Amino acid sequence: MPPLVWQDRSREVLRALESALDPIGPDREPPAMLLVSLDSFNWVTYNLGLTEGDRIVAEVLRTLSEAVGQHGLAAQLDRDEFAVLLPNATVAQARRLAGAIQRGVRNIDSGVSGPILSVSIGVRGAEAGQAANTVIREAGVALDAAKAEGRGLVKVFEPFMLHALQIHRTIISDLTDAIRGGRIGVAYQPIVDLHSGRIEGVEVLARWTHPALGSVRPDEFIPLAEDLGVAGELDRHVLATALGQLKAWQESLDLPDSFTVSVNITPAELQHFEFIEQVRHALDDAGVEPRHLTLELTEASFVAGDDVDAYSLHGLRKLGVGLDIDDFGTGYSSISYLRRLPVTRAKIDRSLLGNLVEDVGQRRFLNAVVNLVTACGLSAVIEGIETAEQAEILRRLGATLGQGYYFSRPLPADAMTELLVSGLPSAVVR
Ligand code: C2E
Ligand code: CA
Ligand code: CA
């Protein structure tokens, strides 16, 4: 089926919604609106090409039309957004339809062994007296809420979402200025040798206190910075801050020679050819040797990677900086890259700790993961250690490096300086 001309169809949806709303009689349910967005459409066109993108869009539209059948109307609104109108449906029925749409889309052949296709869906069951435009806008609010939580989710509109959206908009409108104005701060969290208790390095984590909203979590503002195209600027700001602080520590404290600062890098940064030069400059500016810097990259940057990424990784290794795979064990299952990529350490995600203390199976599993990492010639850093029991078990499993609230929360520079001077309290170390 060729893609439909969306302007005409969206007007048709609007007209159908208006007539379903006018008025809602006692003998039937109000209309329900579903806004459907194809997740990762940029990934599709970037990796598979525009023609394949068109085919997939047409398949999605066919799936929507089949799912709604005679009960309503499906239309394409934008390249990767669609509307489905049920003129007479309960919210529960609309939800069921959303579920059927998701199943249908998951079954579409994306033509590669890459990610399975998915859609995010916002649902609004209209209320008596509502204007058609409001219903559509609120379905859009629900869709935004679904997308904000990840891929492949369905959200039904709730009034609180309007408030959340307002906050979201404030963050979006102020984030770029905050990054460019140098108002993003950092916190430092120690990476600890589990056996000696020595602080081997620190991870540098971005922090933002918004004047009206208070502190905003990195999990919230970093994805937005990526969407706004300013994540690279943020990372460079954090990198420069981290290297400046490291230099100050090197000059004033008696740090071990192996001490490193670890800085998080957004996956897309690797795509820029100038990235290696930027890192080199940052090191030169701060007067820090490359071996004292480690860059943390998530599995996503390797797995979706192509030649450009490999080029950057090898270039960075040649420069002499350390490379960590961050959040190891989440998301992607391909492990073959562990041996192929020029990385130095794998940071094992805290979700893999699970119920380590009580669950023997989990302990064996983690042991196997640590062995896998070390068999590939890398060291493992275990993230998210929160208790003495966990630390002790990990020591016995032979893990060498760890990080987590048990040793220290991320700290402002002053407090981190004190910790570097005093060392960790002996009670924490053993
Ligand atoms: P991440 O790189 O996995 O960083 C570790 C996160 O785990 C940090 O959250 C840290 O505060 C938290 N954490 C540390 N120990 C524990 C623990 O024992 N228990 C629990 N529950 N959590 C612990 P934070 O600072 O909120 O950062 C979240 C994520 O934001 C980071 O995850 C990283 O992906 C991203 N991020 C932070 N700063 C930057 C940055 O400068 N650039 C980029 N690109 N991403 C950053
Ligand atoms: Ca990290
Ligand atoms: Ca991590």
Residue 165's pLDDT is: 84
pLDDT interval class at 331 (50, 70, 90): low
Residue 5's pLDDT is: 41
Look at strands 322-328 and 345-348 and give their pairing. Answer: parallel
* Domain limit, last residue, from 131, 158, 185: 158
Q: Among 227, 243, 264, 403, which residue has the most ligand 1 atoms within 8 Å of its CB, making it the best to mutate?
A: 264
* Closest C-alpha residue for ligand 1 atom 15: 404
Tokens matching residue 32: 């329900």
Q: Could you tell me if the CB of 283 is within 6 A of ligand 1?
A: no
Residue 334's pLDDT is: 60
User: Can you tell me the mean pLDDT for 328-351?
Assistant: 82
Residue 205's pLDDT is: 98
Q: Could you tell me if the CB of 269 is within 6 A of ligand 1?
A: no
Q: What is the mean pLDDT of the chain?
A: 90
- With the C-alpha atoms ordered 17, 19, 21, 25, is the resulting torsion angle positive or negative? negative
pLDDT interval class at 289 (50, 70, 90): very high
C-alpha 217 – ligand 1 centre gap (Å): 9
Of 206-215, 218-227, 299-308, 309-318, the poorest mean pLDDT is in 299-308
Residue 112's pLDDT is: 65
In a domain, 165, yes or no: no
- Which residues in 137-171 are b (16+ Cβ under 10 Å) and which e? ebbbbbbbbbbbeeebbbbbbeeebeeebeebeeb
User: Can you tell me the mean pLDDT for 145-168?
Assistant: 91
* Domain limit, last residue, from 158, 179, 214: 158
The CATH number given to whatever domain includes residue 392 is 3.20.20.450
Inform me whether the pLDDT recorded for 106 exceeds 70: yes
In a domain, 404, yes or no: yes
In a domain, 2, yes or no: no
Inform me whether the pLDDT recorded for 265 exceeds 50: yes
Which residues fall within 8 angstroms of residue 361, CB to CB, at 6 or more apart?
A: none
Q: Closest by alpha carbon to 179, among 169, 188, 171?
A: 171
Q: Could you tell me if the CB of 191 is within 6 A of ligand 1?
A: no
- Burial of residue 26 (number of CB atoms within 10 Å: 0-12, 13-18, 19+): exposed
pLDDT interval class at 41 (50, 70, 90): confident
Q: How many residues does the chain have?
A: 430
In a domain, 430, yes or no: no
d(CA 268, CA 270): 5
pLDDT interval class at 1 (50, 70, 90): very low
Q: Among 222, 265, 298, which residue has the most ligand 1 atoms within 8 Å of its CB, making it the best to mutate?
A: 222
Inform me whether the pLDDT recorded for 304 exceeds 80: no
* Closest C-alpha residue for ligand 1 atom 21: 384
Q: Could you tell me if the CB of 216 is within 6 A of ligand 1?
A: no
Residue 114's pLDDT is: 57
pLDDT interval class at 2 (50, 70, 90): very low
Which residues fall within 8 angstroms of residue 37, CB to CB, at 6 or more apart?
A: 80, 81, 82, 119, 120, 121, 143, 147
- The predicted model scores a pTM of 0.79
Q: Could you tell me if the CB of 80 is within 6 A of ligand 1?
A: no
User: Can you tell me the mean pLDDT for 371-378?
Assistant: 92
Residue 115's pLDDT is: 60
C-alpha 43 – ligand 2 centre gap (Å): 24
Q: Closest by alpha carbon to 403, among 338, 320, 347, 343?
A: 347
Q: Could you tell me if the CB of 206 is within 6 A of ligand 1?
A: yes
323 in the same domain as 217: yes
Residue/partner pairs of 213-216 with CB below 8 Å, 24 or more apart: 213/167, 213/170, 213/171, 216/171
HSE of 272 in the Cβ direction (CA atoms, 13 Å)? 16
Tokens matching residue 223: 């994805």
In a domain, 427, yes or no: no
Residue 389's pLDDT is: 94
394 in the same domain as 284: yes
The CATH number given to whatever domain includes residue 109 is 3.30.70.270
237 in the same domain as 134: no
In a domain, 85, yes or no: yes
Q: Could you tell me if the CB of 384 is within 6 A of ligand 1?
A: yes
Q: Could you tell me if the CB of 410 is within 6 A of ligand 1?
A: yes
In a domain, 223, yes or no: yes
Q: Could you tell me if the CB of 223 is within 6 A of ligand 1?
A: no
Tokens matching residue 394: 């990990």
C-alpha 108 – ligand 2 centre gap (Å): 34
Other residues' Cβ atoms within 10 Å of the Cβ of residue 230: 19
* Closest C-alpha residue for ligand 1 atom 17: 384
d(CA 54, CA 400): 50
pLDDT interval class at 95 (50, 70, 90): very high
In a domain, 164, yes or no: no
330 in the same domain as 194: yes
180 in the same domain as 128: no
Q: Could you tell me if the CB of 404 is within 6 A of ligand 1?
A: yes
* Closest C-alpha residue for ligand 1 atom 12: 384
131 in the same domain as 201: no
Inform me whether the pLDDT recorded for 330 exceeds 90: no
Residue 280: domain span = 171-422
286 in the same domain as 412: yes
* Closest C-alpha residue for ligand 1 atom 46: 264
HSE of 237 in the Cβ direction (CA atoms, 13 Å)? 21
175 in the same domain as 74: no
202 in the same domain as 299: yes
What pLDDT, in 10s, does the model give residues 224-241? 999 899 999 999 999 999
Residue 412's pLDDT is: 98
| Domain total of the chain | 2
Q: Which atom of ligand 1 is nearest to the CA of 406?
A: 18
116 in the same domain as 185: no
pLDDT interval class at 309 (50, 70, 90): low
Report the 3 state secondary structure along 249-300.
HHHHCCCCCCCEEEEECCHHHHHCCCHHHHHHHHHHHHCCCHHHEEEEEEHH
Residue 23's pLDDT is: 75
277 in the same domain as 143: no
pLDDT interval class at 305 (50, 70, 90): low
What pLDDT, in 10s, does the model give residues 121-145? 999 999 988 999 999 999 999 999 9
Inform me whether the pLDDT recorded for 348 exceeds 90: yes
151 in the same domain as 31: yes
User: Can you tell me the mean pLDDT for 100-128?
Assistant: 87
Q: Could you tell me if the CB of 266 is within 6 A of ligand 1?
A: yes
Inform me whether the pLDDT recorded for 373 exceeds 50: yes
C-alpha 411 – ligand 3 centre gap (Å): 17
Residue 79's pLDDT is: 86
Q: Could you tell me if the CB of 349 is within 6 A of ligand 1?
A: no
Assess contact for 138 and 163: CB atoms under 8 A.
no
